[in-house]
Amino acid sequence: MAYPSIYDISTTQLLHARIDKLTENSKGVWGKMTVGQMLSHCAVPYEQILGINTIQPPMFMRIILKLFLKKSMINEVPYKQNLPTAPSFIRTEQFDVTEEKIRLKDLIKTIQEMGAEKLAETPSLSLGKLTATEWNNLLYKHIDHHLKQFGV
């Protein structure tokens, strides 16, 4: 089943509405992150696309990701709960939930406005060249996974 298109404003609005349901008191159904940590964690791929965050996995890990994990990251099968987190995505400090919600919503909107063609021209720091559909699956699947983690 295809994921909703991150390039459509209606998907952006839906994601924003789900993010807006989160509060300081939102608890994860699984995992160890706080809601602030999760919001910051979800911002990482958007920051990487925009060049705000340029932390790459080591070369060996990028090879492993491309050869063995890429397919499961870009397909249309939802992520399982409690999968390991890449070191550059781990958030241990505390974050202001209101600020992180605003920041993440702005990043989602920026990528939506960037559009499919421009996004497909931007390589992933971990996976290399991706098609517009692969980017869509990767980004939507990741944020949907974590919003479900917090019950929204």
Considering the domain boundaries, does residue 32 fall inside one? yes
Considering the domain boundaries, does residue 134 fall inside one? yes
Considering the domain boundaries, does residue 3 fall inside one? no
- Look up the domain containing 136 and give its range: 9-149
Per residue in 26-59, pLDDT (tens digit) is: 999 999 999 999 999 999 999 999 999 988 888 8
Q: What residue type is 49 in one-letter code?
A: I
Considering the domain boundaries, does residue 1 fall inside one? no
Confidence tier at 1 by pLDDT (50, 70, 90): low
Domain count, the chain: 1
Mean pLDDT of 76-99: 91
* pLDDT at residue number 3: 97
How many angstroms separate the CA atoms of 14 and 141, rounded? 14
Global pTM value: 0.93
Strand partners, 124: 128
Residue 114: both structure tokens together: 């960037």
Q: What is the CATH number of the domain that holds 82?
A: 1.20.120
Considering the domain boundaries, does residue 43 fall inside one? yes
Considering the domain boundaries, does residue 4 fall inside one? no
Considering the domain boundaries, does residue 23 fall inside one? yes
